[in-house]
A and B are shown apart, each in its own frame.
Chain A
């Protein structure tokens, strides 16, 4: 599965989708879910929480391990995906659809400065060597 070109990415394997209203939707990439394996628990940040860029804000746990999810940019949490409580495995089956939380970024420019699909793939490839 390739990384959709309409999304932005971080080196810590979050994907970011900019919505029409300027909010952003955040999940973890195909590569991240593959590393972690079968997902069994997701803890999303509380709505209203103010986050700084790169702050630990969510946790995804597979049978194997727990991994932190980081805020891609600074901003405020405006929504979280409650459906993941009942079906965390949807991150495995549909990583780019199973979003974890949404933010209202402080600066749209911060989002524009994140990695594009090509740059993210290069970061993943260099990690493997």
Chain B
């Protein structure tokens, strides 16, 4: 099968990227050293090609009411135009179809950003539900919109330098909100645990914008560092930390699920009927080695499994997210099976690192 490419594909190659097949997309995994790129974002700033993620606009009368039913988090928390909300979208049985960010723009326009690998499935589901509950809505995805994330303590200042007029517009933007700038859409969001922007821009303009950022000293960062940054920041990755076979409550997403209000939403009945027996925790490896996805976790309360694991460059230790039985407590020591060994790991509350610093005690 031909790999899909983003508008920045040639740019990555010109900048010396090592390209890999990432869920059917030809994407840069690094431009040299993944660890250097990781530190670059924690300490200064870097930019990521996230064009493979999909923008979906929902427009029409009653879009809020529909989203109130479609999403596990409550869009009624969104009262200021431009404000964003992180939510899971669930199946009737409570399994996670995808995690996404929804922006409230006006009462008849909400913008949603979904994951690349699940985009087609997500849109089909949204349309299927809308056909039943809100047939008047117009649901359109925008593959012609490119997306570039600029992240790190100096990210906003660099974007302001690269994009004349953007400072006035975005200086007062509170975290997790967005504003339009002509054909661009600038959101103070990200997937690294650092400050910064995610910027949507017409695909044709993306290579020029990327080059301009590069000229201002913003370094390109591959998907390799994107994964270690998000893992340190304790952010879930769809397809690894949760999927259709597990619910949000087993996936560390209880904070995004509103079960207290009267509001009904798809999956709510299943969540109420099936209280979770496991939970997502952080692990910090005490012995030498590297935690990886699917390694078995042995605890006195039963076995668990690592969902995401890696070496964490900020901590200079190996960390993981793991799904373990409910009775496992923060501070416990558990054993992880790595090849023929049982290595000790401490159960910790994540995130592990944010805003340039380690935030767990190691």
The interface of chain A, by Cβ under 8 A from chain B, is 37-38, 40-41, 43, 59, 61, 63-64, 66, 85, 92
Given known pairs A59-B339, A63-B35, A63-B224, the reply for A40 and B30 (CB within 8 Å) is: no
Q: Which residue of A lies closest to B37 (CB)?
A: A38
Verify if B289 is at the interface (C-beta below 8 Å from A): yes
Binding site for A on B (CB under 8 A): 18, 29-30, 33-35, 224, 228, 288-290, 292, 310-311, 313, 318, 339
Give min CB distance, B17 to chain A, whole Å. Answer: 13
* A41 with B289: CB separation less than 8 A: yes
Given known contacts A37-B30, A37-B224, A38-B33, is B288 in contact with A63 (CB within 8 Å)?
no
Instruction: Give the chain A neighbours of B30 by CB distance below 8 A.
Output: 37
A61 and B311: CB pair below 8 A?
A: yes
Complex Cα distance, B290 from A40, in Å, reads 8
- 23 A-B residue pairs with CB within 8 Å: A37-B18, A37-B30, A37-B33, A37-B224, A38-B33, A38-B34, A40-B35, A40-B290, A41-B290, A41-B311, A41-B318, A59-B339, A61-B289, A61-B290, A63-B34, A63-B228, A63-B310, A63-B311, A64-B34, A64-B224, A66-B290, A85-B288, A92-B33
Q: Hey, which chain A residues are within 8 Å of B34, CB to CB? A: 37-38, 63-64
Residues of A within 8 A of B313 (CB): 63
CA distance A64 to B339 in the complex (A): 17
In the complex where A59-B339, A64-B34 touch, is A40 in contact with B311 (Cβ < 8 A)? yes
Q: Contact: B288 with A41, CB < 8 Å?
A: yes
Contacts A40-B290, A61-B290 known; 9 new A-B pairs at CB < 8 A: A37-B34, A38-B34, A38-B35, A40-B35, A40-B311, A40-B318, A41-B318, A43-B288, A66-B292
